[in-house]
Structure 1
Amino acid sequence: MAPSKKKHASNQPCIIPGGFTVLSLQFSSDSVSQHKLYVKEHRVRTEKSSHRPLDRTLFVLNIPPYCSVAVVKDLFSQFGSVQSVELRDHPGSFKDSEPKLSKFFKPAEKQGFKVGYIVFQNSTSITAAKSHPHDAPLVVCTEQHPVKTGVEKWIQQYTESFVQPEKLQKLVDYFMEDYDKQKEEEAERQKKEAEQQQEDEEGWVTVSRGQKGTKARPHSEAANRRTLQKELKKKKRKELMNFYTWQHKNTQKEHIAELRKKFEEDKQRIALLRAQRKFKPY
């Protein structure tokens, strides 16, 4: 089959099936090879997250490993002001409930191509990115914004992995202050609950009405603790009664005698009902 003589016109975007626009990516101005990015407007209506507005979010595929969040933000800033950039290993919904680790201790990132969600300040930036000419590649590494790769990148990552003791100590002190504050607030709350749920001499519990819209709780932690202590005392008293083996045997004999007596009484009652013809088992 002979190749088609038609070529993409210059200064025109290249759109492929699926609605993706192809953007050429070049590492430096003197690079011979080019990389391809595939961009599309983010239109997942089932996602109700304000972090990815439908009219201002651009979905990007095939982002190379040497493009960090800062690099991607700088590349797409030529189409308009970028509000946020999110890089992920796979497409998916926004997860804001993930545990946030310390900035000094980060999990190891997977090396490979990623997908990105770029949120612009204005919706016109989406149109500008989709209409970018295919023949005008985006340059990653420039004199104003150099990007390190290879051994230089590894050395930089290794150097940045060291934690300064002063910064770490400040973070630990801040964490402990916040922890102590939370413990004090919890102790104060328990103290107030104990005061509100005071138990009088007769064993009654005072039920206080809480804030508007909240249900009153008849038992507090202090009241539950006192009840548990009473049950433990009863159990210990019962254990002391049957401390010796002969006491335990006598208790068992008395229990068996009571069961036999009750059984004989039930037999007499059943016989009396039969005699009166009032017994209907079925």
Structure 2
Amino acid sequence: MSSHDKPLKIGLTNWIEEYNNSICNSDELLNRIQTFITSYEQVEKDEEKQSKEEVTDEEGWTLVTRGGRRPGLSRKERLEAKLNEKTAKSSKKKELKNFYTFQIRESQMKHIATLRKNFEEAKKKVNLMKQSRRFKPC
């Protein structure tokens, strides 16, 4: 089967040649990548132009696209912070603070204790005010 004009390569020599042929040159690979990227960018630009233009079908109806008159909010840092704050507030509202009965009792006891403490402080202030008043006849 093998001849001098076309020698038949088998075994290890065949595998080595196949491997060496499978590896491409770095310059050739770079050129292929560059052409692919430029063609992809061109396709992206074309699609963007088509999406910006009003699209009409065969019957003359204008198709409604996602953009609309006001396509949406720009994501700036201030707006991002406000949105994060809002989501944190809403998640706080959804959180169950006093789920069990003993938690409800404890929270009520703490509330009553703080009210009593504030009442005592107010009484002390009133007593100090009364003591500081002096009758000064002219």
TM-score, length basis structure 1: 0.24
Structure with the larger RCO, 1 or 2 (CA within 8 Å, 6+ apart): 1
Higher helix share: 2
| Higher strand content, 1 or 2 | 1
Larger radius of gyration between Structure 1 and Structure 2: 2
- Please report the TM-score for the alignment, with normalisation by the length of structure 2: 0.46
